[in-house]
Amino acid sequence: MVADVAFDAPIAHPFSYRVPDGLTVVRGQRVLAALRGASRIGVVVDVRSDAGEKLKPILRAVEPAPLLDASTLDLVGWIAADSATSFGSTCLTLMPPPTLAPIPRSGAVAGDRDVSPPELLIGAGREARLIERIAGAGTTTLVLSADVDGAARWAQRLGKLGHVVRLDSGVTDAERSQAWRALAAGEAALAVGTRSALLAPLPAGATVALIDEHEAAHKPPGAPRMHTRDIALERARREHLRALLSSATPSVEMWWHCDSGRVRLDGPPPAPWPAVSVADTRGIAKREALTPALARAIRETLTARRRVFLGVSRLASILGCDECGVILKCESCAIALAYSPAGRTLTCRLCGTAVPLMNVCPACRGRRLAPFGWGAERVEHAVRRRFVSARIARFDPEATRGAKAEAQRKAALSADVVIGTRGALRLFGPASLGLAGFVSPDQLLGLPDFRATERAFGLLWAAAERVGPDGQVIIQSQNPGHYALDAVTRQDLAAFYKPELKFRAELGYPPFRRLAIITVAARGGPESARLADAVTAALAGKPRLTVYPATPDRRNRARRIVVKGHADLPRVLAEALEGADTVGAARSRGIMDVEVDPVEWPS
């Protein structure tokens, strides 16, 4: 017998091995085999009757039985195809750590009964409602969290309903394998994990719950290169599972699913909301970090002995007008132009258009165009100068690691004023703040990414949820009439999604079109440029595809090509790229990378 084995490698085809006498392997089983001089774990994708005398033998089976059944392998095939990623990489990253103990094959068969459509829980108390649903369903439930900390928290919360097994890397490999085994044997009813648990065996009629659907952490770099939400929804559809999702500010894609009736929206009437106001900073933003309104609110909150959160963000490489608040944008893509002081140019990261730096604002003819915003350090300085006796801490968990991050976290927990980035908000529970102030969220609204507005909106909303109903949210902005700010002020999600979906439709962005970023990183800039030309040539003339000119990365080593297409984008890309020799070879050498439906735009 000969077995075809796929590996975690950027290679589309599997490798053939002889199955030695005395060993039986089947499709979906993990095996150990030699690949390029090393023994590696692969997954059997086919077994054929053939002597295979000249082939190398399989060394051994990793488990005595396959972990994935035929329908799960089909799902993996769909994920791989729709994300233009190899089957082996997709499959192996979705399997639990290898274990020597036997794992029974999942006895689950896809149920054929009607299941209610997926539901999205929003608004106050959404997590409590989710737990009620899980308790009320009485079926096996798998809860998927964006990260390991979240998984630990959910394991604890669900603990009051019964025994919870964990499938994430926050527990030992042995515990994870045991959890997978317990689910397969029908011995566990409550399981918690991250996206690595997406294929865990579940019986028919089970529930899959996805926490914080909008979190970018649901699509980290690497295989499986698809958003956890999309895999969970597809699995639920195929296996007739019940899907529950929760989010404070759903992704625009998800809201669109709700609009079109594919997902049911579960939102209670509005709960108490803090007073949200927008402070206009046009004309004063460059001189003073705090508007009089924000300074006054800080003083009042400190007097009342309540905590202040000041949201800051890293300085954006964009140019704005200090007089009228306009941010310089690409005319055809409507996203902010990236500013490069060295090159004295403004460049669109999507279509590659470059324009020379201008001296005069195109909107108001004012002469105060400048790099945008306030850094955390300058904000801290401004606050210290005005509030001498307050305990002030800065917390930037995205940029600090290890002991320093832990020290910052401790200081923040006992501070009166916390100056922090997005991740710092996680320190605070619902309604625990007296004031949340945003010094210059326009920096976020104007990032050179079509998702910038969605992100900024999510951050402002998350902050408002953490402020008590008797507290305040103050948003300083050069664009005080922006619909994202208006929606937060009015506690009205639809007031954000409606204009945002209109913008996406008009400009041809997701969910109405699909995007992919092809990155080629050869040994040097010239070689990358040559390869990028070959990719562009391979894609040229493909129907329903828009291919933008290749642009260099910051260090001028790699080249990026943005491609816009329709629902069939992954198939069109795969056909075009596999058909071209140089490109195919580059792909299998790992110097070419295709990211379909990117969530984070590379800087």
* Min dist. Cβ of residue 255 to Zn ion (A): 25
Sign of the dihedral defined by the CA atoms of residues 223, 225, 226, 231, in that order? negative
* Min dist. Cβ of residue 239 to Zn ion (A): 41
Residues from 376 through 435 that contact Zn ion (CB under 5 A)? none
* Min dist. Cβ of residue 352 to Zn ion (A): 7
- Tell me whether residue 330 or residue 531 sits nearer to Zn ion (CB atom): 330
- Tell me whether residue 240 or residue 282 sits nearer to Zn ion (CB atom): 282
- Tell me whether residue 294 or residue 350 sits nearer to Zn ion (CB atom): 350
Closest C-alpha to 246, from 207, 195, 210, 270: 210
- Tell me whether residue 361 or residue 522 sits nearer to Zn ion (CB atom): 361
- Tell me whether residue 25 or residue 350 sits nearer to Zn ion (CB atom): 350
Choose the stretch contacting Zn ion; rule: CB under 5 A; options: 44-52, 86-94, 363-371, 588-596.
Answer: 363-371
CB count, 10 Å around CB of 332?
11
* Min dist. Cβ of residue 550 to Zn ion (A): 14
**What tokens were used for 391?**
């305990």
Put residue 119 in one of left, alpha, beta given phi > 0 → left and psi -120 to 50 → alpha.
beta
* Min dist. Cβ of residue 298 to Zn ion (A): 29
* DSSP string of 236-284, one letter each residue: HHHHT-EEEEE-SS--HHHHHHHHTTSSEEE-PSPPP--EEEEEE-TTT
* Min dist. Cβ of residue 319 to Zn ion (A): 11
* β-bridge partners, 305: none
* β-bridge partners, 576: none
Residues touching Zn ion: how many (CB under 5 A)? Answer: 14
Contact indicator for 392, 309 with CB cutoff of 8 Å? no
| Residue 401 neighbours by CB under 8 Å, 6+ apart | none
Place of tokens 């926490």: 211
- Tell me whether residue 364 or residue 431 sits nearer to Zn ion (CB atom): 364
| Residue 209 neighbours by CB under 8 Å, 6+ apart | 130, 134, 141, 142, 143, 144, 243, 244, 245, 246
How far apart are alpha carbons 366 and 42 in whole angstroms? 62
| Residue 122 neighbours by CB under 8 Å, 6+ apart | 246, 247, 248, 250, 265, 266, 267, 493
Secondary structure E strands in 341-404? 345-347, 354-356, 369-371, 392-395
* Min dist. Cβ of residue 450 to Zn ion (A): 10
Binding mask 286-325 for Zn ion (x = CB under 5 A): -----------------------------------x-xx-
How far apart are alpha carbons 16 and 19 in whole angstroms? 10
* Min dist. Cβ of residue 390 to Zn ion (A): 35
- Tell me whether residue 284 or residue 364 sits nearer to Zn ion (CB atom): 364
* Min dist. Cβ of residue 339 to Zn ion (A): 14
CB count, 10 Å around CB of 287?
8
* Min dist. Cβ of residue 362 to Zn ion (A): 8
* Min dist. Cβ of residue 109 to Zn ion (A): 50
Residues from 500 through 559 that contact Zn ion (CB under 5 A)? none
| Residue 269 neighbours by CB under 8 Å, 6+ apart | none
Residues from 319 through 358 that contact Zn ion (CB under 5 A)? 321, 323-324, 326, 330, 333, 348, 350-351, 353
* Min dist. Cβ of residue 324 to Zn ion (A): 3
- Does 464 interact with Zn ion (rule: CB under 5 A)? no
How far apart are alpha carbons 252 and 210 in whole angstroms? 16
E strand or H helix at 583, and its extent?
helix 581-588
- Does 363 interact with Zn ion (rule: CB under 5 A)? yes
Binding mask 364-383 for Zn ion (x = CB under 5 A): x-x-----------------
Residues from 9 through 48 that contact Zn ion (CB under 5 A)? none
- Does 68 interact with Zn ion (rule: CB under 5 A)? no
- Tell me whether residue 103 or residue 330 sits nearer to Zn ion (CB atom): 330
- Tell me whether residue 351 or residue 412 sits nearer to Zn ion (CB atom): 351
* Min dist. Cβ of residue 280 to Zn ion (A): 14
3-class DSSP assignment, residue 516: strand
Choose the stretch contacting Zn ion; rule: CB under 5 A; options: 65-73, 145-153, 360-368, 474-482.
Answer: 360-368
- Tell me whether residue 449 or residue 593 sits nearer to Zn ion (CB atom): 449
- Tell me whether residue 276 or residue 338 sits nearer to Zn ion (CB atom): 338
| Residue 378 neighbours by CB under 8 Å, 6+ apart | 289
- Pick from 167, 223, 285, 361 the residue near Zn ion by CB under 5 A: 361
How far apart are alpha carbons 5 and 33 in whole angstroms? 9
Sign of the dihedral defined by the CA atoms of residues 444, 450, 455, 456, in that order? positive
- Tell me whether residue 64 or residue 352 sits nearer to Zn ion (CB atom): 352
Adjacency order of strands within the sheet including 354-356: 338-340, 345-347, 354-356
* β-bridge partners, 593: 519
Choose the stretch contacting Zn ion; rule: CB under 5 A; options: 362-370, 426-434, 565-573, 593-601.
Answer: 362-370
Binding mask 222-261 for Zn ion (x = CB under 5 A): ----------------------------------------
Length of the chain, in residues: 603
- Tell me whether residue 340 or residue 400 sits nearer to Zn ion (CB atom): 340
- Tell me whether residue 84 or residue 350 sits nearer to Zn ion (CB atom): 350
* Min dist. Cβ of residue 327 to Zn ion (A): 10
Kindly list the residues in this chain that would bind Zn ion in the complex (CB under 5 A). Answer: 321, 323-324, 326, 330, 333, 348, 350-351, 353, 361, 363-364, 366
